[in-house]
Amino acid sequence: MIHIDQQHDFSDTTLLERAAQTTLESESADLDSDLTIVLTDEAKLHELNRDYLGVDAPTDVLSFPADEEDPETGVRYLGDILISIPRAKQQAEAAGHPLEVEAQLLVVHGTLHLLGHDHAEADEKSRMWKAQAEVMSKLGLGHIKVQES
């Protein structure tokens, strides 16, 4: 199950659920897994980026993998994805597409991180960007340029 914690207004959270679900399917992940998507602001992501990653700067999306199992249900909890809606809006405007598209891209990106993808090294980045582009295509958004962060 995909849980949405809407701390910041967003018009259609079903798009975000679909983006996460499509990413899980594309990566052959357990579809019964749980994850949480938190829609928040730039200050919160700046604080978390500083406190947990040592980067004193705002960002658009952060992922916190958990990979835990609920002892009562046996359901795997993948972790949390936090998205700065104001930052996503700025990026969408700069790229010339709607906020809803940018937010889906960030959910795909964050979900891939929860599933173990990274982009710190060139070969990792190449694999992650390929997976991200494939999911965006499955969402009907293959024309969207994959972010370079």
Q: Where are the alpha helices (DSSP H) in 79-142?
A: 85-95, 99-114, 122-138
What do you get for the CA distance between the two ends of the chain, in Å?
28
Give the closest residue to 110 by CA, choosing from 70, 64, 59, 74: 64
- pTM for the whole thing? 0.92
Cα–Cα dist 43/30, whole Å: 33
Q: Could you give the 3-state DSSP secondary structure of residue 54?
A: coil
Q: Could you give the 3-state DSSP secondary structure of residue 32?
A: coil
Report the pLDDT value the prediction gives residue 14, as an integer from 0 to 100: 94
CB neighbour class for 23 (10 Å; exposed up to 12, middle 13-18, buried from 19): buried
pLDDT at 63 over 70: yes
| Helix, strand, coil percent content, the chain, rounded in steps of 5 | 45, 20, 35
pLDDT at 149 over 60: no
Report the pLDDT value the prediction gives residue 147, as an integer from 0 to 100: 53
For residues 126 and 15, the model is more confident at: 15
Residues 6+ positions from 85 with CB-CB distance below 8 Å: 8, 9, 10, 39, 40, 41, 99, 103
